[in-house]
Structure 1
Amino acid sequence: MEETARSDCTVTCSFKERGGLIVDIQSKVGSLYGNAIKDQVEEGCRALGVTDAVIHIVDQGALPFVLAARLEAAVKRGRPKISAEFLPGKQPARQTRGVKDRPRRSRLYLPGNEPKFMANAGLHRPDMVILDLEDSVAPSEKDKARFLVRNALRSVDFFDAERCVRINQGALGVEDLAMVVPQFPDVILVPKCEDADTVRSIADAIQKVEHEHHLSGETLILPIIESALGVVNAYAIASSSHRVCALAIGLEDYTADIGVERTEEGRESFYARMSVMTNAKAVGVQALDSVWSDVEDLDGLRRSTLEAKALGFDGKGCIHPRQIAVVHDAFKPTTAEVEKASQIVAAAEAARKSGLGVVSLGSKMIDAPVILRAHRILRMATFGVREEDPN
């Protein structure tokens, strides 16, 4: 059985009745790492209970977590009843798991079957990385990608980025959860979410895995709304589980669902965006805008992100690392916003110390939501400040 890799290695496993284990390696780094590769393959075969087989590897410099995933996928395609796992070293669970109100300005989508994009993703400093098992993975590659994403969660340092996995729909998604939840992802992204029952079923499945594996912390849920029905049910979706940390909207699928072309101006999706944002805020969770699909048009991305911020969104999707800095800059508060927020917070603190029930700034009364927004602006200012809005 053959395991097809992506710019890393190809592993072929041919089982036999007897004769022991034969490992054949062709590697461009064989002179340096050939023995280490062979040792890892033999260790993996012992873990998986493989004693009689020919393992053929064509390696292009795969990292150990990739080789382990490719080997396990190849073995289990040949012997699907093998239940043992070959797991690389595991990073400890982070204390930030379960934090709902953390910055999610950028979320970087990474194809779940392309390890070359995973190893350095954290260097670009996205607020969230999404290891995608759904749209970016061909149906024939789903099982292979699942091993790779599991191992990436265990082995790859994504720095401070929130680690999210976009699972598949239906039964495949439940299988995804069983494999990835034990590896402490921070968030599970639920694709094409159209009703509250879908979220509740995912929450129940997550809880079951967490209980079975005695996991600490809590895995959050991020539903992405990508259809007219999902927009109609946005409030029910956002309020369906305490695990929901945000609502996202996916405009490529949404515009296809309503039968129109997505445009830069966005008139065709304005209602949907505002509905998702408003319902998310009504429940008290974040609202995340769609991706900008033209990776070359950074000016268009900036305009779209500034608009999203002005409409009340808390973040935007990214499909290329070069988009992250643009998105982060657009979400920075301006100098004027920070100055005004500082004045509001100072006035509120002065009123509190004086025992006043009413806060005023100059001739204007300041109510609680305005004070809350001022605190939020000052928190965002810790990431930097823009001198002024671009024209």
Structure 2
Amino acid sequence: MSNNTIFFLTYNLIGGNKTNKMEITKSFVAGKKDKADIEINLKPSKNESIEVTLESSVERLFGNHIRDYIKEYLLRYGIAFCEIEVVDDGALDFVIKSRLEAALFKFNSPFLDRFNFGKKDKKQKTDDFRRTRLYLPGNNPYLMEGGGLFGADVIILDLEDAVSQKEKIDARFLVRNALSVLDFGESEVIVRINPFSNGGEDDVKTILLALPDAIMLPKTGSARDVMKLDKLLEETENKNNIPIGDTKIFPLIETAEGVLNAYEIAKASTRNVMLTFGAEDFTADIGVKKSKEGKELFFAKSQIVLAARAAGIQVSDTVYSDFEDIEGLILDTEASKSIGFDGRGVIHPLQIEHIHNIYKPSEEEIEYARKVVAALGEAKERGSGVASLERKMIDAPVAERARRVIQLAEKYKRRESKDKLKVKSKKLK
């Protein structure tokens, strides 16, 4: 943006249309001095102008762009008088925009309804793979920017535990703009909001316009919690011309109350697609220490799995917090799979491939499943509802499990074919 353009905008806002003039009267800070981030400090000015003081690791390449971007953005919203102290470490434009929006929102919250951004078309999910759900801190642009490269089935932009209380507003706007701008690949992208007692409603109203695939509701204790979120989603979708029901819900069960109410929670909304379990908060709630063996979690896990299955939705286990212990991760995930979980939470990209491999049917499992289905098919032709295979009786429930193995194998095959096409396409480019 040229200096002449800035002068023209300033003239229109200050001289030509004084009703739009707005002056910063207090200091407001947003953002952080961190990699791929920017700290913006809006301050009152003694001069009738916008003055930007910039310290940046990319000053020589992008210093003028950063200054012009900030000035143009502030003038667009009628901010004509202020000083801005900026410390930048390679922030992309969507990060700069997010930090400016957060600072302006702190100055005057009605700004929220004036902010605009380009929405991305929502990708249609072609399968229901949710083996891994990777948590990314909602106030860390550096990790978000690479989120689509990790290969997780679900990416969770976390506004709750991963964000300190003083950064909640900043994270809210960063997540909103990340959803609008970043390409997360084939991953389903959801947002873990804060509890309603700590800004959850504001989280939804701010980020829903950017079309997350789903909302994760922390500390879900009862069906009422889910119904409250369902109602809020419907109101916000309706207000913003988003198709009603487009946003799904992942209830996160982390308390004794939630475990005991798991079935009612699972059935509380047609938006529910997956029950999820959080063991760290659960063990704190029941007053025990979380062990590596996880004996204290067995009842809760079983209850949540049964509730999800009875409600006809998926279910995901808690994270394995020691990301360097791959052997322990594999053993624990095999145990999760054995009691009915469809996947689990992930705190580090190194865990993803190991979990995916565990949920992939082996060649032996696929071959046996096909034999089971074939044997029962032959038995039905003879007028019998049971068959035998390798000295074991096969009936309808056994055949149903076999069909699920075959269906899962076909899903893996489709996903792997799609991944190969993407790699080939990139090479051609």
TM-score, scaled relative to structure 2? 0.83
Q: What's the secondary structure of 2:79's corresponding residue?
A: coil
The answer on 1:331 being equivalent to 2:363 is: no
Q: Please list the CA deviations of residues 53-99 of structure 1 after superposition, one character each: whole Å capped at 9, or x if unmatched.
A: 12221110011111111111122223334345444543211222xx8
Q: How far does residue 348 in structure 1 lie from its aligned partner after superposition? A: 6.2
Structure 1 residues 43-192: aligned runs within 5 Å: 43-96=72-125, 102-171=128-197, 172-192=199-219
Give the C-alpha shift of residue 25 in structure 1. 2.1
Structure 1, residues 275-331: CA drift from partner, whole Å, max 9, x if none? 111111111111110000111111111111011011110011001111111111121
Residue of structure 2 in register with 1:259 after alignment: 287
The residue type equivalent to 1:239 in the other structure is K
Distance 1:366 1:69, change over 3 A: same
With over 3 angstroms needed to count, the CA separation of the structure-2 counterparts of 1:200 and 1:17, relative to structure 1, is farther
CA distance in 2, matches of 1:128, 1:357: 43
Answer yes or no: is the 8 Å Cα contact 1:87–1:151 preserved in 2.
no
The structural deviation recorded for 1:125 is 0.4
Q: Are 2:329 and 1:301 equivalent residues in the alignment?
A: yes
215-224 or 310-319: bigger deviation: 215-224
**8 A Cα contact 2:94 2:177, kept in partner:** yes
For the residues of structure 2 that align with 1:310 and 1:158, how far apart are their CA atoms?
30
Given candidates 215, 229, 232, the residue that maps to 1:205 is: 232
Q: Give how far 1:162 is off.
A: 0.6
Paired residue type of 2:93: P
| Counterpart Cα distance in 2 of 1:41 and 1:371 | 63
Q: CA deviation at 1:335?
A: 2.0
Shift of 1:360: 4.0
Using the aligned pairs only, state the percent identity. 40
Give the Cα separation in 2 of the matches to 1:153 and 1:349.
48
Secondary structure of 2:292 counterpart: coil
Q: Can you list the C-alpha shifts for 1:134-159, whole angstroms capped at 9, x where unaligned?
A: 11111111111100110111111110
Change in 2 beyond 3 A, CA 1:33/1:378 = farther
- Contact (CA 8 Å) 2:253, 2:277: kept in 1 or not? yes
Asked which structure has the greater RCO (Cα within 8 Å, sep 6+), the reply is: 1
Q: How many residues align?
A: 379
**Equivalent residues of 2:137, 2:163 under 8 A apart:** yes
- Residue by residue over 1:318-358, the C-alpha shift from the partner in whole angstroms, topping out at 9 and shown as x without a partner, is 01111111111121112221112223344567788x69684
Partner of 2:68: 39
Cα pair 1:68 1:88 within 8 Å, conserved: no
Please name the residue that 2:221 is paired with.
194
- Distance in 1, matches of 2:246 and 2:133, equals 20
1:221 CA displacement: 0.5
Give the match for residue 22 of structure 1: 51
Partner of 1:291: helix, strand, or coil? coil
- Which ranges in structure 1 are unaligned for 5 or more consecutive residues? 385-391
Deviation at 1:376, TM superposition (A): 2.8
Q: Please give the secondary structure, in 2, of the residue aligned with 1:130.
A: strand
Provide the aligned C-alpha RMSD in A. 2.2
Give the stretch that moved more between structures: 49-58 or 283-292: 49-58
SS of residue in 2 equivalent to 1:256: helix
**Aligned partner of 1:13 among 38, 42, 45:** 42
Q: Residue 315 and residue 47 in structure 1: after superposition, are their counterparts in 2 closer, same or farther (change >3 A)?
A: farther
8 A Cα contact 1:48 1:84, kept in partner: no
Q: C-alpha displacement at 1:24, in angstroms?
A: 2.5
Q: Note the C-alpha offset of 1:18.
A: 5.4
Tell whether the 8 Å contact from 1:44 to 1:86 is kept in structure 2 after alignment.
no
Q: Which moved more, 1:19-28 or 1:107-116?
A: 19-28
Residue pair 1:359, 1:366 contacting (<8 A) in 2 also: yes
TM score, norm. by length of structure 1: 0.90
**Structure 2: which 5+ residue stretches go unaligned?**
1-27, 414-429
Aligned partners of 2:372 and 2:394 also within 8 Å: no
Question: Paired residue for 1:387?
Answer: none
- Determine the C-alpha separation between the residues in 2 that align with 1:276 and 1:144: 34
Aligned pairs for 1:338-357 (under 5 A) are: 338-346=366-374
Tell me the alpha carbon deviations over residues 94-118 of structure 1, each in whole angstroms, 9 at most, x when there is no partner: 222xx8x711100001111111110
For residues 378 and 159 of structure 2, what CA distance do their matches in structure 1 show?
A: 51
SS at match of 1:329: helix
The answer to whether the 8 Å contact 1:88/1:155 transfers is no
- Distance in 2, matches of 1:4 and 1:176, equals 17
SS in 1 for 2:145: coil
Matching residue's letter, 1:252: E
Amino acid at match of 1:169: P
Contact 2:112–2:206 (8 Å) recurs in 1: no
Question: 1:278 maps to which residue?
Answer: 306
Larger radius of gyration: 2
**Normalized per residue, which structure has more helix?**
2
Greater shift in the superposed pair: 208-217 or 75-84: 75-84
In structure 2, give the amino acid aligned to 1:136: A
Match of 1:242 among 252, 262, 270: 270
In the TM superposition, what are the counterparts of 1:351-366 in structure 2 within 5 Å?
358=385, 360=387, 362=389, 364-366=393-395
The alpha carbon displacement at 1:372 in A equals 3.8
